[in-house]
Chain A
Amino acid sequence: MTLILRSPRHLRYLRYQPVLMVLLLPSLALIGVFSYYPAVRSLIGGFYQWNGFSPPTYSGVSQFKEYLQSPTFGTEAKNLAILVGGSIGITLVSQFTAAEIVVHLRPRAAAVAKYLLVLPIVLPPLVLIEVWAYLLQPNYGLIDKIFGAVGLPSLTWLSSPHLALVSILLIGFPWISNLGFLIFLGGLQNLPKDIVDASKLDGLGALHRVFAIDIPLLMPQFRIVVILSGIYAVQNFIPILLLTNGGPGTATLVPGLDMYQSAFSNDEYGYGMAIGTLLFAVMLVFTLAAMRLLRSRTA
């Protein structure tokens, strides 16, 4: 009652209180059943052995241990590190460069370029993956033809143990059409005008300006893009599932694919959820580390 009497403002809000839970219910029901319940169940599920039919049996941390000691774990961790490191590097360089180019265009040309570079974001990933599988085909694929034209040897991209991972990273070249490009572009377009003008007055060259001003001022954007692309790369086993299925041998096996196969091919649901939990922990640590390490130096 005291709350109501405090101000007419509170009275105004409280009048609608019975309505409010009804309004929130559909959304809460959706995330409760299809987001929170599965997430909690996954965190618990890793501690139970379960084949999907017989009742689950408690197994403590044995499944986590089993995965960490499995013969493929070392390869999976190495492949994951290469893919995550590679795609973060690729993403930052290509999308930041593209944003720098677009921001230096005349306004109308910049608008057209932005439109054209954003549109392919809606390309279905499956189509992009399959098209690149075609372009990377040995002997008559585009990449091989280009290599042949400049005198480089013909390579069996996806079926070579040494090149398969690189091929997975190559998918989507030039990797511009993505959220990161928009984030960088927005950051560059909103740079404080007086700083940019002052740098021009000082006669700072374009390249020098990029390193001395743009990159330090865009630290918050770099942080978001590193986190988003890192998390995406940890999870994205779909190109591998479609093109190599972890092969040749275990050359492209990653934890996500192992998790998927454990559950949906081998009926080891508990084991799969244990891998999922470990992946979640890795992503959490990665996100927190990136947030700390890439703190903006100006703020």
Chain B
Amino acid sequence: MEATARSVVAVDTPAGRPPAPRGRRPAGAAARRRRYWLVSAAAGAVIVVLTYFPLIFVLSNSLKSGQNIISNGVFALFNQFDVSNYSLAWSGVSHQLLNTVIVAAASIVIGVTAAALGAYSFSQLRFRGKNVLFLAYVALLLIPWTLTLIPLFLTIQKLHFFNTWWALILPYAAGSQPLLVLIFRGFFEQIPRDLLESARVDGCSERQVIARIVVPLTRPVLLTGAILVMNNVWGDYLWPTVVIQDPAKITISAGVQQFIGGLGQNTANGGAVFAAFVIAIVPMFALVGLTMRYFVSGLTEGATKL
């Protein structure tokens, strides 16, 4: 842009200098441009490295014996490749990993289905009190989890769900409703009404309309919802420790903490702690790494609706 500005000035000079040829940048602009790219590329590299350095330490330490972690010092990266840490960590948290997958799958099935059906009626049907009801969902986004933590625990006890997976599944499914209904509704509203109407005219029942037309069209946003619920179940530490007593039933975040606590101050097993971290990180990195587009759209959709 500066290039054009300069050539205009050149035309106006009374000295009669020939104007700079059209389309050619004056010398210096290219160099400045390159320097600009280099500076921003360097800054980009710095923030990526700063973000990932703790993970590099985790990976490096997960392959070291406990003694080496301490004696090597933190800067000695990848100087030992001892995979036995992983077998110890795997035996400690694999069960919790399976629990997490089961709880997440059930939370996704219940939460995403309920939210999709709700969002479908909010977007495609007209009924009295719809706006008030929808406001009830939006208002939930303002209710902090610290307010509901204690009474939710009491509710779980009263329903005799304490120390069962229902104590996790149902609150996770319920907790996902406001955000998912919000995201789904926005997506469902883009489905052309005439498409659904013509199916109804052709004799499709409401159930068939949903199963044959709505679900296939909205698969991407349902996947987004599933990923968001999965991430929530995977990362939640506090709630499982509140409602699950049996260590064999707990999910991965709390499971990793239990595993660390079980090893105690025994430095010989220090490497296994880091191996357990890696085991807790990799599945989510793989899942979201492969479905990044859906994950990002879910996060940003939710935020812009606030």
Contact = CB atoms under 8 A, between A and B. Distances in A.
Answer whether A and B are interacting partners.
yes
Contacts of A106: 37, 41
Contacts of A280: 143-144, 146-147
B40 A224 contact: no
B19 interface: no
B216 interface: no
Given A14-B126, A19-B206, A113-B48, A179 B299 contact: yes
Contacts of B178: 31, 35
Contact of B2 (A45, A203, A231, A260): A203
Interface string A13-29: 11011011001101110
A283 B145 CA distance: 11
Contacts of A89: none
A115 to B, nearest CB: 6
Interface string B170-208: 110111011001000000000000000100000000100
B292 interface: yes
Interface in A242-299: 242, 256, 259-260, 263-264, 269, 272-273, 276-277, 279-280, 283-284, 287
Chain A: number of interface residues, binned into ranges: 35 or more
B19 to A, nearest CB: 19
B295 interface: yes
B71 to A, nearest CB: 9
Contacts of B181: 27
Chain B: number of interface residues, binned into ranges: 35 or more
Contacts of A176: 47, 50-51
B66 interface: no
Top 4 A-B pairs ranked by shortest CB distance? A27-B118, A34-B174, A13-B126, A38-B151
Interface of B: 1-2, 4-5, 36-37, 40-41, 43-44, 47-48, 50-52, 54-55, 57-58, 70, 73-75, 110-111, 113-115, 117-118, 120-122, 125-127, 133, 136-137, 140, 142-155, 170-171, 173-175, 177-178, 181, 197, 206, 231, 234-235, 237-238, 242, 252-254, 256-257, 260, 273, 277, 280-281, 284-285, 287-289, 292, 295-296, 299-300, 303-304, 306
15 contacts: A13-B125, A14-B126, A23-B121, A24-B121, A27-B117, A30-B170, A35-B177, A101-B40, A115-B292, A118-B295, A124-B234, A135-B54, A145-B74, A186-B304, A259-B146
